[in-house]
Amino acid sequence: MRSDRLSLRGIKQVVIHDSAFGVGGPARLYETGFGCLCPILAISGYLPGSTWCVVKQSGLLPECWPENPKGDYKVKIKSLLTTVASVALAAGSLVANAKDIVHDAEHYVLLAQYKDKWAAQDKTLDQKLAELEKKHGKRPNIIHIMWDDTPVGEIGIPAIQKVRGWETPNMNQLAADGINFMRMYTEPSCTPSRAAVMTGRHAKRNGMYNVGFPYEYGGLAAEEVTIAEVLSKAGYATAFYGKSHLGDVESSYLNNQGFDEALWTPYNQVPSLYVPRAQIGALSAAVMFPEMFGEDPYDIDSGWRPDGYVWALEGKKGGPVREVGTPPNHDDYVALEDEFWKRASEFVRKNAKSDKPFFVALWPQVTSFMGFPDRVTASGGLLQEALARMDVRVGKLIKELEALEIDDNTLVILMADNGPMTHNGPPGMVETLYTGGKGDYTEGGVRVPAIAYWPGVIEPGQVIGDIIHETDLFTTFATLGGATKHIPRDRIIDGVNQTALFLEGDTQSRRDYVHIYTGPVLAATVKGRYKKHWTGAKPGLSGPEFYDLYSDPREASGQLLPMFPAKGMFNIMKVRHQLMKEKYPDKGQNRDFPLKGIENARPETIEASKGRVLSGDAPFDPKDVIQNLPEWDNVDRGWGLSE
């Protein structure tokens, strides 16, 4: 037998031997199906000591072998897995409309088992979408509403609201009239979540895994392809209104990322406190406004504070970018939320009868840290007050769609971007159902309320228990919009097509897995009802790191012995995931000086965009400093996290 590293395309069988007995000892046979290696990705049944396998030719010769071999071939398991990861992708997808889109390894494990079902299902779904397009004269409109920091249970479950002192009747009705997702997973914090939705990729893949603040000196790179760019190429009118949080460099400006028009905030809501009126009792006022105190003779660096920050920017595709509300002040910030919804309404009305379908990303600044001078809920929590107010706006938007007679050709998605800000957050931020919150890899940090509404198309009254991830919206929106051919093929797209889940309902998801990153760290993996915490694991020794989310949904008591059968399964999932990352390496975010190219920039903003001018013989270049800013530094602070 030979032990060369081989291309395995066309192989019919793989025999796994236990190394304790050597080749020729007890073995397991794996059938690969008609030359497709996707099933081999599921190899996990071999004994822990297995290091060698035998590839049996079974009459088909691999195209890439350097010579015409005879006999069986012996290869190392690691080499086999590496080869499998690349060959499975080279074989391409077997499902129409997703051909050649590169997904993560676990997708191919499921594809091998359900390829025939999915192909038939997609044929039926394509016919249904074609009938809808013929009826309405265009592809469906899509409105994606996403807000901040809300746990599962706060929206769409009136019974919970009843004993918590607030209600959202309009959104609750949409959940009753459409789909109420119970297992919508997201990234664990703002910027990563928003980048994931925009690109269909985990934030670790594009460097957007750090939550940005003024100045960030970075943002979404021009090389990333957003859902707005994909849909634009398919003829959609596109608009963005609300909180972007995707960076403060020019490449991240949303009019440079595929949107025909946009009004957005480059940061989160924290800078709303960077004004004198909000300083008292909120932040340490001296950080931003030393003039509010007596003279400090030791405060000698006048350029240290980010006083050139902006709250909002606006622009149209190919046009200039302008600051909205100059300089930042309390009243302009409060008015922003009204402006977001007003412009969204105007965009919908403008495009309602157009030959082009539209896509609107409406991402409200909910919740604000400023609070409300009056209260509309018994709860009075900042989040609950914000949700109650947003609910009124959602109700008006739905009525407008009905009045324009386009509601039956408009998919509306409502969801939060991550779990509640339970760590040092404002009043009203609580876990509700699951353990953890924003920034955590436990279920409370990454499972959010989510609703899909499309009257006449989505069956009402659905409560869906399937796993869905926010990246799936990217591929699903592209499929609905007839735009999958514009999805890039040179990178991994984590989002899978969930059109069947939306249109055919419960149990039709095309994923049963989620990899959860905190910063750049793979912190946990979910497979169906089971979960493995990678962080905190002892090197070389398993501990109580496994969870059954059915019996322990709050991850209160990790298991070891009862979950031992899952150990090898999770390990092989992680290896497959990592090998795919080696083939398609992660990219960094774009680093540059902030807030450049603003047409009406204030003097302090212009200074910020130039970088700090250093006089004298500085031993470093400010540009080098920007390029070497750490993406994430908590790994070194005893959090128990590691790459």
Give the chain's mean pLDDT: 83
d(CA 403, CA 370) in angstroms, rounded, equals 34
pLDDT at residue 33, rounded to an integer:
34
Q: Name, in order, each residue with C-beta under 8 angstroms of 308's C-beta and a sequence gap of 6 or more.
A: 215, 595, 602, 604, 605, 606, 607, 608, 609
Indicate the residue type of 140: P
Structure tokens given for 208: 């957007």
Instruction: Quickly list DSSP for 124-144.
Output: HHHHHHHHHHHHHSSPPEEEE
Which backbone phi and psi does 12 adopt, to 5 degrees? Answer: -95, -35
DSSP assignment letter at 634: G
Other Cβ atoms less than 10 A from the Cβ of 261: the count is 20
Q: Name, in order, each residue with C-beta under 8 angstroms of 344's C-beta and a sequence gap of 6 or more.
A: 143, 239, 241, 360, 362, 397
501 sits in which H/E element: helix 499-504
Domain edges within the chain? 13-91, 140-298+305-512
pLDDT at residue 227, rounded to an integer:
99
Q: What is the dihedral of CA 158, 164, 167, 171, to 10 degrees?
A: -50
* Residue in this structure with the two tokens 């660096």, named with its chain if needed: 301
Best CA proximity match to 315, nearest among 324, 305, 328, 325: 324
Q: Name, in order, each residue with C-beta under 8 angstroms of 543's C-beta and a sequence gap of 6 or more.
A: 536, 537, 558, 560
d(CA 341, CA 330) in angstroms, rounded, equals 19
Average pLDDT of the segment spanning 582-587: 96
d(CA 95, CA 107) in angstroms, rounded, equals 12
pLDDT at 614 over 70: no
Q: Name, in order, each residue with C-beta under 8 angstroms of 189's C-beta and a sequence gap of 6 or more.
A: 211, 418, 438, 439
Per-residue pLDDT tens digits for 117-161: 999 999 999 999 999 999 999 999 999 999 999 999 999 999 999
Average pLDDT of the segment spanning 22-32: 37
487 sits in which H/E element: none
Strand (E) positions, 490-608?
A: 513-518, 521-527, 530-533, 546-548, 590-591
Best CA proximity match to 105, nearest among 625, 568, 626, 582: 582
Q: Which CATH class is domain 140-298+305-512?
A: alpha beta
Per-residue pLDDT tens digits for 61-114: 333 333 334 444 444 434 444 444 343 333 333 333 445 899 999 999 999 999
Structure tokens given for 322: 């302008």
Burial class (CB in 10 A: 0-12, 13-18, 19+), 630: exposed
Per-residue pLDDT tens digits for 181-214: 999 999 999 999 999 999 999 999 999 998 988 8
14-23, 304-313, 503-512, 546-555: least confidently modelled range: 14-23
Q: Are 341 and 362 in contact (CB under 8 A)?
A: yes
pLDDT at residue 363, rounded to an integer:
98
Please say whether the dihedral angle defined by the alpha carbons of residues 545, 549, 550 and 554, taken in this order, is positive or negative.
positive
- Residues forming a β-bridge with 33: none
Of these ranges, 78-87, 277-286, 358-367, 473-482, the one predicted with the greatest mean pLDDT is: 473-482
Q: Bigger pLDDT: 537 or 313?
A: 313
pLDDT at 510 over 70: yes
Band of residue 547 on the pLDDT scale cut at 50, 70, 90: very high
d(CA 128, CA 130) in angstroms, rounded, equals 5
User: In residues, how long is the chain?
Assistant: 643
Beta-strand relationship, 141-147 and 410-416:
parallel
Average pLDDT of the segment spanning 237-263: 97
Best CA proximity match to 418, nearest among 633, 159, 211, 267: 211
Structure tokens given for 155: 């929206």
pLDDT at 59 over 60: no
d(CA 33, CA 391) in angstroms, rounded, equals 51
Beta-strand relationship, 141-147 and 358-363:
parallel
pLDDT at 620 over 60: yes
Q: Are 356 and 236 in contact (CB under 8 A)?
A: yes
